[in-house]
Every structure is written in C-alpha cells, then in structure tokens.
Structure 1
Amino acid sequence: MTTKSIRRTLRSIAPFIGLALAVLPAAWPYFGGGFPRTNDALPHLYRSLALSRLVRQGVLWPRWSPDLVHGYGYPVFNFSPALSHYLIVLFHLAGPSLTTAYRAAMTTILALTACSTYLLGRDLFGAVGGWVAALAYVYSPYVLYDALVRGSLQESLALALVPLLFFSLRRATRYGGRWIAASALSCAAIPLSHPPISIQVSIPTGIFLLWLGCSMGWHRLWRPLAGLALGGLLMAFFWIPAFTEVQYVQTEIAVSRGYHYPNNFMPLKALIAWPRLPADPALVNPPVVRSLPLLALAIAAIMLPWRRRSLRSTQHRIRVGLCLCVLLICTMLILPLSRPLWDHLSLLQLSLYPWRFLGLTSLAGALVLAGISSGPKRLPTLPLLLIIAALLIGAIPWLYPPREAVPESPTLAHVTAFEQPPLFIGTTTLGEFLPIWVEQLPDTTELRQQLISDPSTDRLIAAEGVIVQQSTGSPLDAAYVLHAERPATLTYRQFYFPGWRVELDGEAIPIRPSQPEGLLSIDVPAGEHHLHIRFGLTPPRLLGWALTGLGLLGLISLLIFGPRWAAPEPGPSLATFSETTSRMPLSQLALLTGAILVIWLLFSRIDTPLRATTLTPEGLRGVPNSLALDFAGELRLLGYEQTQHPISADDDVHLTLYWRALRPIGVHYDVVVHIVDRDGLKWDTQQPGRPSDWRWAPGTDSWTPERYVMDPYVLQLLDGAPPGEYAFRVSLVRRDTKQTIDTHHIIGHLLVAQPARDERPLEVGMTPVGLSTGDMLEALGSRIDRRQAAPGEPVRATILWQAQSAGSDSSLTRNPSLTLNLVTQGGTPILTTTSAIAPHYPVADWRPGDRLRTETLLRLPAHTPPGEHVWRAQIDQAHPITLPHTLAVRELDRQWDPPALAIQLDAQLPPVATLLGANVEPSSCQIQASQPVTVTLAWRAEAEVEISYRVFVHLVGPDGDIVAQRDGEPANWTRPTTGWLPGEVVLDERVLDVPANASDGSYTLICGLYEPDTGQRLKTQEGLGTIQIIEITIQ
C-alpha cells in the first residue's frame, strides 16, 4: 500500500474515529462500578444472559426462554426481538464478562448512532454538516434519555439505525444495485431491534420517499421500495409469528395499567422542559425529562441570519425544509391534539407511546442544524468549535445520572432474585407475555431454589406410581425413559404455549395446559415408555422462516450480481457542495474531538451550575427550604419545596420532600403527607398523586447515607376547603407493620386565598341535604364518615355549603355558626359542638357560588349509650334539622376485674391509667432469634380522658437500641383510651417479631403511653417515661 493510499484511507476513516471518541462522554456512565440507574438496563442485561445460555446450547434465534419466570419459561424472544442482545452476546462470547460486554455494546450503539448520522448528514449537507448532525443527535435530550435514564438498549439501537435507513434509501434511489440490499438490511434491522420505532419511522420514511421521487425522478422510486419490500421478507421470521401468536399472551395487562397511547401524549410545556439543575449523581431519582432538541434548534435559529446565504441554493433550502417538516409532523404526533389521528390508525397505536417520536424529532432537529451550519463556503473552525461545545455543554445535565450496583458476571441466581412475581417477571415490567393459559402463577419457590443450585435442573414432575429417568436433553428438548404402573398424568414445569411437542415411543401425543397454572400436562398409559418433550416450530414460524429464506436469496443475488457500490447512473447530482466542503481537515477533526473530551473532563471535576455535588454533611445545598428533621433516627428530611402561594382551593398543591437515610435501614417505610389546618385536621383528598415527571425510587430498605431522594407529591384540597392558612404534616409508616414511626412533623405554610366556585357533582359518599340560612347559604350535601362506632372512637362530620349571594349584600356581621348535635332517638343530647363556617374567610368577602366546607372531628364520650342515634344540625338560631345520617353505637363488653397476671407491676401513669401487670409468652422469657414474643398488658382506667393515647411496647437491647416494637391504640386499635371508664380493666395483647439477626444476650421489655400529636410520653410517679416489664433472654 502506497503512502498516498494510506493517507486516503486515513482521511476516509478519520471522521469515524473522531466520532467514536466524541461519544465517550455519553457512554462513560456505563463504565466504572455499576451502571446508570435506569428503568431497563438490568432487565436487558438479564435477558442477554438468558439469550447467551440458549445460544451456547445451539438455539440461535430462540422463541422461548426456559430459565425465566423462576424456571417456568417465558416467550419473550417471540415478541421482543433480540438483535441488540445479540450484540452483547457476541462481545461476551469473545471473552469479557456479560456486564463488560453490555458496556461495549452500548458504546458501540452510541458510536453507530454518530457514524450513521454522519453518513446521512454528509450526504445531505457535506462533511461539516455530517459532523454537526452526528453530535447534535447523539447529545440530544431524548437519545441520552433513552440510553442513560430508560436504559432502553433496543430502542437505542433502533434510533442508531434510522439515519442509516434514510442514507441507504437515498443511495439506493440514486445508485440501485447493492444499495438496494443495504436499504433492505437497514429496513430489517430496525424492527429486529425495536418494533415500535419501526412503526413510527414509517411516517418520515414516507415523506422521505416522496422527496426522493420529486428530486430524483419517480421512475427510480421502485429501487428504495424494492429495498423496503426485501427488508420485510428478511424479517418475516420475526413479524409473522409475533403478529399471529400475540393472541396467546396477556398483552392486555399493559393496556389496563396505562401502557397505551392515550395516557402518553405530552403537552408542549413538557416538551420544552429542562432537567433539574445542577445535575448531581447523589440524587437517586432526578425528574424525568423528555424534551425536543431545544438547544440544536436554538443554535440553528441564532445562526440563521448569519448563514442565510447558505440557503440560497434551492436544493439546500428544500433539504432543510424537508427536515423541518419531519420535525413539525413528529412533534405534532406527540401532542394531545393528534389524538384523533391515533384513534384511527391502529398500526400506529401498536407503538404505544406518542413521545417515542422524540427520537425522530431529535434526528430531524440535528439535520436542521446541520443544514444551517453548512453551505458552499466552509464554516470557520471557531464557530464550528463553539457549536460543538454548546451541544456538549447543553448535554451535561444528562451525562451524570445516578448509579446502581450491577453484578459483573450475572448468573441465574441474579435473574431469579430480580424477578418479582406476579408482574415483574420474564425481564418485562408487567408480565405481558405470560401465556393466556396461566390464570394463576404456581408457587415458584421450589423450582427457583433448584435453578439457583443447578441451572440444568429437570422440569418433569413424576406422578405417583411413575418412575422417571432423564436420558438426555435440556428444558427445550428433553428425553426420558419412564415406567408407569398405571395410567398417569405428568406435569412438565414449563408454561403451555404453541410450539411444545411431546412424543411417546416416537409418536406425537396431545398435551394440554393445567388449571389454573397453565403448565404442560401429559397423559401417559401404563408400561415402559420413551418420552420426548421439545419446543419447536409452528405454522406461522415455518412460514416466516420460508419468506426470510426467499429474502436472503434476493439479498445474496443483489450482493453478487448487483452493480458495484460506486457506479452511478446519469441523473441529478448528489452533491450540493464543492470538494472543499465534502471533507474535513484532519487537524480540524483532532481539534474538535479533543475539545469535546477536554470540556467533558472539566465538567466532571469542577462544580458548575450544570453539575455539582449538592449533598453535604451539613445538609442539602440549593433546596429552597432547608431542614434537618430526623424521623426515629432512621431518615432525615433535608428540606422541601412547595407550591407558591396564595392559591385557590381548586389549584393543585405541589410538595417535594428531600430525604436521606441516616444509616443503612433494611426496612421499608412509606411517607404519609397531608394538608392540615391549625387544629391538625386533614384537608386533602385521600390519595396524593405524583407529578408527570416523577421518577420512581427504590424503597427505603435500600437507601444509603451517601444518596438522597426526591419525594414529590401532588395534593388536592377537599371540595369546599375554606380560605385560610394550612401546613403539611409528614409522617413515616412502617410498611410491614403499618405502624406510624416516631411522631409526625409539621412543615411549610400554605395560604388559600380563594375558595372553589365552579359547579361540580357531589363527591362520592355525600348525601344531599336541605339546610340554609335564607338567601345567604345553602347546604349542598353532608357526610358522616362512619355509620357504626363505639364509645371513645372518632367520628368526622362534613357539610358542604354554597354561597347564594355576596356577603357584602348580607346583614350578617360575622360568619354563621354551625351547631352539630348527636341525640338519642328520644332526643336526649349525647354530645354537642359549635364552630363557625369558614372562620378565616370573612363573610363580607363571600361571593355567589363560593363552595365552603365544614369539617368537624368528634370523639364519642366514654359514657355514650348504645343504640341508634341521630344527627341534628343548626345554623345560628335557625330551627335545627335532622341530617339523613344515623350512628349505631355498639355496647362494649367492659371488664372490671383483672385477670391472673404473672407479672405484677401496679405502675401508675397519672391521670390516665395504671398498668396492673402483664403476661408474657413464652413464660420462661427465653427465646431464640426470630421467635415472636407475645405481651398482654392489663390497664386500669383512672379517669375519662379526651386524648386517645397510644401504647408502645419495645424490646430494647443492651445498647439501648430498639430491636422490636409495637405501637398503636390499645387492643389492636379497638379500645382507645377516650372510651375507658374509670375503674375499667382493658387487656392489650401485642406480638413482637424478634429479627433473625438479633444477637444473643439480655434484652429489656418496656412499655408506656404517649400522645400521638406530640410524641410526649406520660410519666410515672417516679418521673420516668417508660415502664420496665421484664428481662428477655435471646439465646
């Protein structure tokens, strides 16, 4: 090879080498320890493991993975193609670990994304345009979101192949021959990577073909169409079985859980959103941002006045206009206004997510920028450098995602631990490919353990009276010799699905799914037999392979007999640019590549407004409301953000909490948030929502002190919540015991300035009621939160009002008062309460249509008589009316004599109660770790009280740490202290679950009473906040 040819070769490959280096910042989050914390990276890693095991067994394109769903099998590869996973397997077969192979595959995909976009951009706008397009596409928000937030390996590969499809279609139109074969391969590779992208790309492909026909001649259009048709044949082995056999899996699960197009349109506001700044890898769940290529479009808009001469060429303007047209159409298909179009295009609906079009808008935006920045005259190096630097700097917030631990050499043990039946199975989120015959998942515990210890474990379960010996095979192709004393039914622990075949003594026999697990059931007669079980072809699969074979013949023919790659026919020129703009100097390539790497390294080491470390030992920097509230020594609330106020009662209320674990917890806590008034009464609806950009975070059991978590909520005030001042109440509930941990904290300040005014139906459970104050106020409805209660229990009464006239027109000088009475059927009063309606919203400010709500929380006195009682309401001095609600008060079975008590205490907690004593099981007070302890406390009431005190029982270790606990109202929440009568004895049984890792030694069982609102414990006469019951020995 001559020096001249070496230089020519180097000049040809230099742009691609530069681009491979330029994408390193985008791929780098996959290197080092672990992976970026994504939605799908781990499922794809484990799916690659399943594929690798099958490939090593000689199954080159599997339909069924026998190792998934804890060894019961799953047809994931029949419906989710494995081309991207093959890339990982190929790297893995070369020697690296599977996780290293995944990193190499993702890096290759990003490099392919840049290189294929460069080819298309160079074809349309010259070498400089190709470079700009490549980097604008790779560093676009959606491509980075796909790679580093979703971790969608399949879609990332498909998006990398889309530019290659357009490039090869254009070349096929111009040159024909082998370029038709190239377009066929590109067309087939996209759906074999990610079918939804192949559906969505058909729209810009149609626009592109129309442009090719107009610009190069309609008589040439058969060439790209032939390539697309040949591509359809090449992938027939996948799409024919996938479309015909989808009826046999439970895909409706995805639709029922919101994984469908109607729930995934995006408003324009979300499309122009920017990620949370600064990016901080310590934040476990930064908000999800899926946006348009805003920076590329902004740069193009800024450059347009300066580069307008580059658009003087009609051909150049048409190409830029073509890209802009694709961008606008794809953007429109993401917006809710395109819903009618989606409703009528059933094929488009199969792509599930309208926001997936962001991948195509990102490519179109990159090409628009390429068109603006290119032209007959080469763009100077400095402006080009500024464009490239701006694209990379704009991508910085996406390049530093949170990380998660990943096994370097995953095994089936990791896969089985990762799967969480019934939904998170088979490396899919919802189990949507579970066969329809599986109505109930079997107990997978036994097979799961067998699979961990022996990946080749036998799947056949012999019936009684049948002796089975496996002779050869794997779960997909197993042979047995068996002896049956009598006819029997064998169960093969794989789910029934088309393709399973069973032969008995060389002859096919019928099989059926078991009920309700859907496992293979095989009937065998008595005697000695040879049984062969295998998974094979079905008619659709056979037809698909036959058509793919025809496509391969056509492909090979084109490659052998077609014209050479560079043999153009006479026709319109491909080039718009002079020779000087079709190549980039090596020095310029080196400068641009080096600048990208230097900028990335600087941002990686220096805190900036785009990337910074915000979690410090002192707290969280940058949070609007910084706090340091500890919850039971487990979690710390670092701060919060809230809705700007004042607000209307109709407005959504946004609250974001920032949490950090104080130590590794190992326990799952749920955060409970409510809007409360000055009296602590709750004023929000039952279940808070999450904002649309919320990103799921793992449970607190896996939190570590060096990370922090965003916990955002969208709360709604109750219909008719009156204007006034509110706050937020935050508490923790332990998920396994449902116990509130420690006490709650009140944070924030929310001012509601305007009430709700629009007309709306009454909320569920509210009954219309006729109660008014003349022309001023009318009761729309009322509700009592319970129809049965016991003495001491709380009852919440609600009345919804609407103002009929302006308060300024009324003679009232103060807000009306509401009096609620609970009376017996004979009219004897039981309890009475009076409160003002909307006390913090002066009557003079009332407007017609104002909806105002009164919420009254009552506790039935301990002496409330049993029976059916009625509610009466009265406004000021008006005549009282009977509300359409009754309250049935049940009679309590009170106990006045204490039982026999093994432990006598007589510990007083004045003025509420005396702890007479306790019984403990086991009575020996000697237990083993993980053995429960049952404690029965005997309380004697000393007075009627208005506070419902909580009982706590703690098992405390020698170091003072709580090892086990049970908190709550007495007698499993059935006997609040507000219902105790003086002299009454209340028995309170509690079971403490001692953890399995509790160390041997002596532990102390203590108890007491505390006020739930403040956490303040009642003191004994000795001034102690706890009562020591007995010592417990763990041995």
Structure 2
Amino acid sequence: FLTGLALAFILVAALPTMFPPLWDPDFGPTDPQAMLDFELAGIALGTTSTGDFLPSTVEVPPGPQESLIASYRGGGPVDKVNRATLPRGTTVEIVAHGPTYDRFRVRSAKKFILRLYTFYFPGWRALVDGEEVPIELGRPEGFITVPVPPGEHEVLVVLGMTPVRRTATLISALALVLLAALLLLDRLPWHSAGRPAAGERPDGERRPRSGQPAPAFLLLVPLLFWFLKVGLVDPRDDWFRITSPPGEVVVAQHRVEATFGGEIALLGYDLPVTSVRAGETLPITLYWQALRPPSANYQVFVHLVQPTYRLWGQSDKLNPGDFPTTRWPTDRYVWDDHRVPVLPGTPPGTYRVAVGLYLLAEGTRLPLLDEAGQPVADLFLLPTPVQVERGRPPDPARLEMDERLEMIYGEQVTLLGYRVPYRQLGPGDRLYVTLFWRAEVDGPAPFRMRLQVADAEGKVLQEAERGPTEGFYPPDRWRRGEIVRDQSVSPVGSDLPPGRYGLQLIVEAGGRPSEPIPLGALEIEGR
C-alpha cells in the first residue's frame, strides 16, 4: 500500500508540469529543406536566433553560400567545397558525405588549400591518403581548411574523439558494466543462498502478504491517474493553468499600459524586491504582447537609473523573453525575465527602472507612444521605485577603472581612479566621467571638483563645477572605508572645434585647489 501511495503522490505532484503554455505549433515541417528555408529567412542561425552554438573561433558569422544551398536543394550529395578558391585545373570529387565526415577524391597539379564550408570544432581531423595532416583555421569565418599536396589523393575530414568525449564515453561504459554486474550478481544462486524466500521471515514463518502490493495493484495506480487527468483535470482550464483575458496579465504583480511604436505593449511587470544592496542583483520580470506582427527583431533593455541618463545597472537581451519578436503571436503575452546587476559602489538612495526596445544594428530605440499615438519618449519608467542600500566595499582592482590614482585629499577622502567610457565625441554629445572615491573617515568634509577640457597649450575651453554625486549622496553621509561611485554627465560645447583635447580634474578640499589631474585625451569630431 505504501509503495502505491508513494507512486500516486509522485504522479499527482507532477500534474502542474503537464500543462505547458498553449503555443500554436506553427513552425511548419522540420525536414532539411524547411530548416534551410527557416535559416535563410533570418529568423535563426542554427538552433537559436543569436548563433549561440557557433564555435568560439568564428570571428565573423558567414553569410549564405550559394553553392552549398544549391547542393542541399538539389537532393544530391552535399557539396561543402569552396570551389571558387580551387586553383585552375583542380578537381574535387565528392566520394561520401555524412553529418560527421566528408570524403573527397582530389586531383591537382600543385599544392593548394582545400577550403570547406564546415565549422571547426575540437575533434575534427583531416587525413590525406590515410596520413593525418594539420587542419588550418580559416579566418574570420572559422571554417576548416586542409593543405593538399600536388597529385591525386583521397582526403577524409572526420569528427573524432576528444579527451572529454573519451572520458564521458568511458564513464558511460563503466556505468553500464556496473549495472549489468549488479543485476547478474543478484541472480546468482550462491548470492541468494541463505536469504529468506519471498514472503518468508528469517525464522522460517510465512510473512503476511498484505504488506506486499501485487503488481496488478501498482498498475492500477497509473491507470486511475490517467482517468483522473483526462476525465477531471484536462477539461478544467483554471486548475493548473491561468488564462488571462486579452490585453491583460492576471499573474503580473504590477499592471501597466505602455505602447512602443504601435507594435509591442508592456502589460505588466514583477518586482519581487524593492530594496537591493550595491553590488547585488535586482530581479525583474516584464510581460510583453505584440499588438501586431512586429516588423523587426527588437532588443530589450532594463536600466537602473537616477536620473534617467545615468546608468547604475543594466540587463540587455537580443530577444525579449529569449524569443525573436518577429515570431511573437498577437494573442499571447511573453514572459521576459531579467536580473539587473547593481554596479558596485552605487550611492545609497532611491532609483527608478527604465525599460525599452531598440534595434542594435541601427542604434535606434522604438518610441514610447501616448494615448493619441504620438511619440513622447524612448523609454518607460516603471512606477515602482527601487531603494539601493549601502553594499560591501568592492575590491578596487575590480572596478574597471581606466587608471588607478590613489590620491588622498585632506586626509579624509581618496580618489581611487576614474573611467571615461567614450572618448570620441561630437559637439552637443554627453561626456560621461566616473570617479571612484573612498572615505578615510566617517562623514568627510564637503569638497568640490572642476572637470575641464583644455587644448594642447593647456588653455581651459570648457569647465563644469560640482560636488561629489551632485548632492545625491553628500560626503557627510559616507562611512569610513566606503567606496562611492561618482558619475558626472556634461554636454560637449557646440563651439568646440574638431580636434584632440585633454580632460583634467581639479579637486578643491579644505579650500585649496589641487594641481590638474590628467584624465586622458578626448577626440572631438565635426558634425
């Protein structure tokens, strides 16, 4: 009885996993011709839309190769030879082809490089007349190339074993041998000698049969479960599946209405925590829906901001919900899960989460529309604020600084270093500079800074004066040993002519300005 009860418990506990989301199977046939057309449509590359399974040696993903496509469509042997690179008079005959090998008969009057439309992975080997030759990597595509001497030869390119594959195969073989040995050992007469017979106790008396479920009883449990699922559970759409009305997400923690470009709407979001420490991760789930078939595969960003143009953490995806937007149905919503890492040293305070869609290749964002369908912004601020708390001081060596400075001012604060992410700018562009401070005492005295742009002679052409964090997190709140990330954003003057300039910083602590601290060069380009 207990065995049957345990089996029933396992089956019932698995019920929720038997009701996946109902997506229409509209991907069409899965024969080689259909898969080829699917890739050529630009929806996916191999098994994913982002080429995740391309080998790391591929520097530039290659485009479609017409000769290879023609051989697939022709129904004959697949021709992976780059025939455009063959020397004049050279012939390459396909002897055999398979998923893990190609065999060719080659005739050439001189030595040449045989180039194949096959990506190199560890384990590929090349043999010329049975003798192994080194495979050369064709860059930047990562294709296999094989040196072939003059004359007539048989070339075999085959995917073989690697140390990792050999080890895995050996482990599997040993496991099978061990399993077979255990089964055989249990059936040997000498192994069972002296053991009580089935249903018999050690003292020789018969054990009551009520404690042993009969095989028929164990078969009855899954049969009853099948009738329960098909007859009682399946007709109910609200037991293990939640169906939201059109244009809504019932399970969303917060519901919103934000339309991007008239194509995609943000219906809601989950923000399970609203307080996070600097250096930790903020989980966010977005719920999207296509209002009409999207015209492109959009990318998504989730930014932690304060104000909107200062970035304190981000999560970007090539495909929202890990699914290309051009494949989204219009009658389903898409669950898009993000984990936003908060930058180490982010000042404590109240922040907002900005989300939006963009095209990476074009560098443009999908506009946020108002109720009248007019563009009002290029991002949407989630209504729920996020409180960032003071985190553990990060290791300065991991702060991605352009230069480590370690300059102390007034025995109270140390300028650890700086970072300037963009150094090629145009008039009117934003100049982003991040300074990293460490408090040497609790509540350092206030100080100010001047960020200057100077020409080759040292003449200051542009200057921006401010306090650390511009008052968002003033020094009197800093604690000893705390590292504070201090971001500044200032526009490049429209009157600056194109050329090379120096960026420098002056720190005024205790009423005394420091000597200019060079922060590297800037390239101002013309419009």
How far 1:572 sits from its partner (Å)? 0.6
Within 1, Cα distance between the matches of 2:28 and 2:453? 71
1:681 aligns to what?
309
Alpha-carbon distance between aligned partners in 1 of 2:297 and 2:63, rounded to the nearest angstrom: 24
Match of 1:733 in 2: 358
Instruction: Give 1 or 2: higher strand fraction.
Output: 2
State the distance in 1 between where 2:114 and 2:421 align: 52
Which amino acid in structure 2 is aligned with residue 731 of structure 1?
A: G
Answering whether residue 288 of structure 2 is matched by residue 659 of structure 1, we say yes
1:770 aligned counterpart, secondary structure = strand
Counterpart contact for 2:300–2:355, Cα < 8 Å: yes
Please, which of 492, 496, 503 is the counterpart of residue 860 of structure 1?
A: 492
Q: Equivalent residue for 1:795?
A: 431
Q: 2:257 matched to 1:638?
A: no
Partner of 2:33: 413
Q: 1:878 — aligned with what?
A: 511
Partner of 2:13: 394
* Partner SS, residue 667 of structure 1: coil
Which whole-Å CA distance do the structure 2 matches of 1:459 and 1:675 have between them? Answer: 48
- Residues 109-148 of structure 1: CA distance to partner in whole angstroms, max 9, x if unpaired? xxxxxxxxxxxxxxxxxxx566556x4xxxxxxxxxxxxx
Partner of 1:598: 228
Deviation at 1:412, TM superposition (A): 2.1
Letter in 2 for 1:723: P
Contact kept in structure 2, 1:670 and 1:735, CA below 8 Å? yes
Is 2:327 the partner of 1:702?
yes
Aligned AA (1:781): G
1:720 maps to 345
Determine the structure 1 residue equivalent to 2:387.
752
Q: 1:826 to 1:730 in 2, by over 3 A?
A: same
Quote the Cα distance in structure 2 between the aligned partners of 1:886 and 1:684.
22
Q: Is the 8 A contact 2:345 2:394 kept in 1?
A: no
Q: Deviations over 1:36-59 (max 9, x none)?
A: xxxxxxxxxxxxxxxxxxxxxxxx
Q: Which residue number corresponds to residue 448 of structure 2?
A: 818
2:196 maps to what in 1?
Answer: 573
Are the counterparts in 2 of residues 683 and 717 from structure 1 also a CA contact under 8 Å?
no
Q: Distance in 2 between matches of 1:840 and 1:455?
A: 69
User: In structure 1, what residue type is equivalent to 2:442?
Assistant: A
Residue 826 to residue 617, structure 1, CA distance change in 2 (3 Å): same
Q: Is this contact kept in 2: 1:658–1:711, CA < 8 A?
A: yes
Whether 1:629 aligns to 2:258 is: yes
Q: Contact 1:511 / 1:521 at 8 angstroms: preserved in 2?
A: no
Q: Which residue of 1 aligns with 2:204?
A: none
Which residue is equivalent to 1:453? 74
| Pairwise CA distance, 1:621 | 0.6
Aligned pair in 2 of structure 1 residues 768, 585: CA closer, same or farther (>3 Å)?
closer
| Secondary structure, aligned partner of 1:684 | strand
- Asked whether the equivalents of residues 511 and 522 of structure 1 are also in contact (C-alpha less than 8 Å), the reply is no
Query: Contact 1:697–1:709 (CA<8 Å) still a contact in 2?
Result: no
Check the 8 A contact 2:503/2:518 in 1, yes or no. Answer: yes
Deviation readout 1:430-470 (Å, 9 max, x if unpaired)? 467x9x9x999987622233112314356676864467888
| 8 Å Cα contact 1:786-1:887 kept in structure 2 | no
Structure 1 counterpart of 2:241, one-letter code: R
Structure 1: how far apart are the matches of 2:511 and 2:320?
Answer: 53
Give the 3 Å change call, closer, same or farther, for CA 817–493 of structure 1 in structure 2: closer
Q: Which residue among 243, 251, 263 is the counterpart of 1:613? A: 243
Tell me if the contact between 2:508 and 2:514 (Cα under 8 Å) persists in the aligned partners: no
Instruction: Give the whole-Å Cα distance in 1 for the aligned partners of 2:156 and 2:111.
Output: 20
Counterpart Cα distance in 1 of 2:276 and 2:160:
62
Q: Identity across aligned pairs (percent)?
A: 20
Normalised by the size of structure 1, how large is the TM-score? Answer: 0.38
CA distance in 2, matches of 1:884, 1:417: 59
* Structure 1 unaligned residues grouped into runs of 5+: 1-127, 136-387, 503-507, 545-550, 893-973, 976-1035
Question: How much has 1:671 moved relative to structure 2?
Answer: 0.8
Change (3 A) 1:419 1:515: farther
Tell me: CA distance 1:872–1:705, structure 2 relative to 1, closer, same or farther (3 Å).
same
Q: Tell me, in whole angstroms, the C-alpha distance in 2 between the residues paired with 1:755 and 1:713.
A: 22
Q: 1:858 is matched by which residue type in structure 2?
A: S
Cα distance per residue 1:392-442 (max 9 Å; x no partner): 3322332122457477763222454577999869xx97467x9x9x99998
The 3 A distance-change label for structure 1 pair 675 and 883 is farther
Could you give the per-residue CA deviations for residues 980-1019 of structure 1, whole angstroms, max 9, x where no partner exists?
xxxxxxxxxxxxxxxxxxxxxxxxxxxxxxxxxxxxxxxx
Distance in 2 (alpha carbons) for counterparts of 1:818 and 1:537 = 64
Instruction: Please state how far the C-alpha of 1:632 moved relative to its aligned partner.
Output: 0.6
CA contact 2:344–2:391 (8 Å) conserved in 1: yes
Equivalent residue of 2:436, what SS?
strand
Deviations 1:950-994 (A, max 9, x none): xxxxxxxxxxxxxxxxxxxxxxxx63xxxxxxxxxxxxxxxxxxx
Match of 1:379 in 2: none
- Per-residue CA deviation, residues 764-821 of structure 1 (Å, 9 max, x unaligned), is 225325353x4554433334445554433321233333333334xx8x7xxx352424
User: Partners of 1:490 and 1:860 in 2: how far apart?
Assistant: 53
**Per-residue Cα deviation, 1:608-637 (whole angstroms, up to 9, x for no partner):** 4642223x2131012111112111112111
* Preserved contact between residue 278 and residue 346 of structure 2 (Cα < 8 Å): yes
The letter for the 1-side match of 2:32 is L
Query: 2:407 corresponds to which residue?
Result: 770
Length-normalised TM-score, structure 2: 0.69
Deviation, 1:718, is 3.1
CA contact (8 A) 1:463 1:488 kept: no
1:672 aligns to 2:301 (yes or no): yes
Q: Distance in 1 between matches of 2:159 and 2:468?
A: 76
Cross-structure match for 1:584: 214
* Structure 2 letter corresponding to 1:871: Q
Residue 538 to residue 595, structure 1, CA distance change in 2 (3 Å): closer
Change (3 A) 1:455 1:625: farther
Q: 1:458 to 1:410 in 2, by over 3 A?
A: same
CA contact (8 A) 2:310 2:487 kept: no
Q: Deviations over 1:1-50 (max 9, x none)?
A: xxxxxxxxxxxxxxxxxxxxxxxxxxxxxxxxxxxxxxxxxxxxxxxxxx
Query: 1:818, 1:835 within 8 Å by CA — same for their partners in 2?
Result: yes
Greater relative contact order, per chain length (Cα 8 Å cut-off, separation 6+): 1
Does structure 1 conserve the Cα–Cα contact (< 8 Å) formed by 2:285 and 2:337?
A: yes
Q: 1:590 to 1:439 in 2, by over 3 A?
A: same
**Number of residues paired by the alignment?**
465
1-structure distance, mates of 2:115, 2:420: 56
Distance 2:423 2:158 in 1: 61
* CA spacing shift, 1:466–1:806, aligned 2, 3 Å: closer
By how many angstroms is 1:664 displaced?
A: 1.9
RMSD (Å), alpha carbons? 5.1
The amino acid across from 2:496 in the alignment is T
CA apart distance, 1:670: 1.0
Indicate conservation of the 8 Å contact 2:247/2:267, yes or no. Answer: no
- Runs of at least 5 residues in structure 2 that lack an aligned partner in the other structure: 138-142, 167-172, 200-206, 368-377
Question: Aligned AA for 2:342?
Answer: L
Query: How far apart are the structure 1 equivalents of 2:280 and 2:78?
Result: 58
The 1:778–1:521 alpha-carbon spacing in structure 2 relative to 1, beyond 3 Å, is: closer
* Whole-angstrom CA distance in 2 between matches of 1:675 and 1:429: 27
* Contact 1:817/1:834 (<8 A) preserved: no
Give me the whole-angstrom Cα distance separating, in 1, the residues matched to 2:422 and 2:159. 61
Distance 2:453 2:97 in 1: 76
Please state whether the residue corresponding to 2:310 is helix, strand or coil. coil
